[in-house]
Each structure stands twice: as C-alpha cells, then as structure tokens.
Amino acid sequence: MALDNLELLKAVEQFLYSEAEYMDSHQYDRWFELWDEQALYWVPCNADEADPNSNVALIYENRDKIEDRLFRLKGRHAHAQNPRSRLMRVVSNVRIAQADAGKVVVTSQFVLGEVRLDRQTVWIGRSQHTLLQTANGFKIREKKVLLLNNDSPMGNLTFLI
C-alpha cells in the first residue's frame, strides 16, 4: 500500500472511531452531523442482499427519517431506551474498498457490547460506509450495516448501530 493510501486509511479509521464514540455515548446531534444531505442508512433484515424495494429491512432511512429517529430518541418517551443501553464497541478490520476523487468506500467490522437492565448482549456486524471528502471532513453518504444475526429473533435494537 502506498504511503498516501496509508494516510487515507488512518484518517478513515479515526473517523470511524469518532462515529463509534458518538453512537456509544448517545451523542445524537454530533452523530447526525456526520451525515451527508443525501444520506442513506440501511440495515438489511433476513439476508444481507435483500432488495429494499421488495423486502423489509431493519432500517432503510433517508436523512429525513434518520432525523425522525433521533428526534424520538432525544425525547422522554422512547421507553425502550429508558434506561439507555450502555454501549461499547470495537471497530476493526478497516479496509478501503474503493477510493475515487472525493469518495471513499470503506468496510469494517464491529463487536458491540450492550448492557441494559442487567442483561448483556453482544452484537456483531460488518459495516460499509460510503464517505464523501468535504471541506468539513468526511460525510457519510451511505452506511450499510450487515448484522451477523439479521435473520434471528431480536430484542431491542433501538440504540445506534
């Protein structure tokens, strides 16, 4: 890998770590600032490649709907997040899949520990971010999260992944 690519990789990793921190600590506004105007937040259900036009997803949201989600979480009546999930995730295996002028596609994996009401749950998945390089740093154009258990019964997934 050429040195400038290593620098790009470092920068992307730092971005992903910041995103992870905002998600872990429920800093909804700071997390929302990471998104591009034409955002797409996609968490498939049942199968990784299920076509969202004809298949249900866990999350398939544009910027407007992401904002709805955060509006709800910031209010006092999102009972499934009262108390909030305590979260800690490790993001690793970061790889640049594609780097064009101003646009980077990066894949990574995460292990996320969640503790809520004395129950500990482990969530595992792979993320693919499409990041735009802007004057204000990277912005997320598209984020697709492939949960390892996306075909299994799940409890409460109302925190940010």
Partner 1 sequence: MASGTSVNGTSIGNGASMNGHHGFSIERLQGLVQRGRVHSSIYTDPAIFELEMTQIFYRSWVYIGHASEVAAPGDFRLRTIGRQPVILVRGNDGVVRVLMNRCRHRGAVVCETESGREKVFRCWFHGWTYDNTGKLLSVTAPEGYGEDFSVEEHSLTPAPRVEMYRDFVFASLSPQGPALVDYLARATSMIDLLVDASPHRQIDVSAGCHKTVYNGNWKLVGMDGYHPNFVHASVIAMWQRKADSGMGATHRSDPFDGKAATYVRDLGNGHAMLDLRQHRLDHYPDYAKFLASTPGGKEYMEAMFARDDEERARTLLAIAGDPHVGVYPNMQLIHNQIRIINPISPTQTEVIMFPVLLKGVSPEINALRLRQHESFYGPASSGSPDDGEIFERVQRGMLAQVEPWIDISRGLSREFVDSDGSIVANVTDEVPQRAQMRQWLALMTGENSSSAAAA
The site for partner 1 (CB under 8 A) is made up of 43, 45-47, 50, 52-60, 65, 68-69, 71-72, 75, 77-80, 82, 117, 151-158, 161
Q: Of the two residues 102 and 153, which places its CB atom closer to partner 1 in the complex?
A: 153
What whole-number distance in Å separates Cα of residue 15 and Cα of residue 131? Answer: 10
Report the nearest approach of partner 1 to the CB of residue 145 (Å): 10
Q: Of the two residues 47 and 90, which places its CB atom closer to partner 1 in the complex?
A: 47
Instruction: Establish how many alpha carbons lie within 13 A of residue 80's alpha carbon, considering only the half-sphere containing its beta carbon.
Output: 9
Residue with token string 């697709």: 144
Q: Of the two residues 97 and 154, which places its CB atom closer to partner 1 in the complex?
A: 154
Report the nearest approach of partner 1 to the CB of residue 158 (Å): 5
Amino acid identity, residue 45?
Answer: C
> Which residues have CB under 8 Å from 41's CB, separation 6+?
35, 59, 60, 61, 62, 65, 66, 142, 143
Report the nearest approach of partner 1 to the CB of residue 109 (Å): 19
